[in-house]
Amino acid sequence: MELRIENLSKTYPNGVQALKQISLTIPQGMFGLLGPNGAGKSTLMRTIATLQEADSGSITLNGIDVLKDKQAVRERLGYLPQDFGLYPRINAETMLDHIAQMKGVGNKAERKDLVENLLNRVNLYKDRKKGLGTYSGGMRQRFGIAQALVGNPSLIIVDEPTAGLDPSERNRFYNLLSEIGENTIVILSTHIVEDVNTLCSNMAIICKGEVLMQGTPKEGLAQVHGKIYQKSIEKSELDQYRENYQVISTKLISGKLSLRIESQTAPENGFEPSPADLEDVYFSFISQKVDPITI
């Protein structure tokens, strides 16, 4: 099972070039698509989900031409968009039953089993009679996964799923996603490095419509291994350090700035070597394209 994207490009009518010759090979399992806001993630996700057209390039899912044979893709696709509307007064059970019916599960008893199974899987069975409008952010996302799973999709796309979830809801959602990733292609689009670190066996970093890196998180880490140094500085010193070093990220800790830089050789001046993590990989690539920001 494989999703293959080749030389995909898209320019919006206002002239924004959202995708520039994107090529990615996405195998079975959890794939993390990591990039800052505006990178082109949603554009790419919506194009794969057959919701918008590309200008050029190709996408194939197990040999199906995604850009041409949209119906065949839709039958195999589960999609959890960034913002999805919920009918607030309808309860989860009724809504899932309705979605199953729309996706062609005609038999009522079969639908009942399916809905019950999905509600249990996403841990919403006891809340199945509550109006969707009363759900917390985490419950909404889990419901979103349940609706995406109707029809046993072979490709699931989740766009920025953990934004706004509290840590325990996020954990629950991680567990659910990692279960699903075992026998499908799951593309997780996010700007949260921790999401990818926790869940994904393969990943890509995109920025300004371009693929900057693709591979396993381990391969990403190998690229910055031994090159990360850290130092705590005053905020007022930042500009001076930016001039002299390749600053990849800065974090405010108790009023001081913890600065991380990438360097081939050990810098003088009080820098300590620091083990590289996936955030360093991300910022190392991103900082080549955009100005580093304080996080």
Binding site for ligand ADP (CB under 6 A): 12, 14, 16, 18, 35, 37-43
Q: What's the closest the beta carbon of residue 138 comes to ligand ADP, in angstroms?
A: 22
- Name which of 97 and 195 has its Cβ closer to ligand ADP: 195
Q: How far is the CB of 11 from ligand ADP (least distance, A)?
A: 9
Q: How far is the CB of 15 from ligand ADP (least distance, A)?
A: 9
Pick the closer one to ligand ADP by CB: 39 or 100.
Answer: 39
H helices of 59-121, in order, are 70-76, 92-102, 108-121
Nearer to ligand ADP, 151 or 292 (CB): 292
> How many other C-beta atoms lie within 10 A of the C-beta of residue 211?
21
If the CB atoms of residues 43 and 214 are measured against ligand ADP, the closer one turns out to be 43
Q: How far is the CB of 12 from ligand ADP (least distance, A)?
A: 3
When the beta carbons of 16 and 102 are compared against ligand ADP, the nearer one is 16
In the complex, minimum distance from the CB of residue 238 to ligand ADP, in angstroms, rounded to a whole number: 26
Displacement of CA 187 from its chain's centroid (Å) = 6
Contacts (Cβ under 8 Å, ≥6 apart) of 73: 49, 50, 61, 64, 66, 155
Q: Which long-range contacts (CB under 8 A, 24 or more apart) does 15-22 make?
A: 17/209, 18/43, 18/209, 19/43, 19/44, 19/47, 19/54, 19/57, 19/209, 20/208, 20/209, 20/210, 21/57, 21/210, 22/57, 22/206, 22/209, 22/210, 22/211
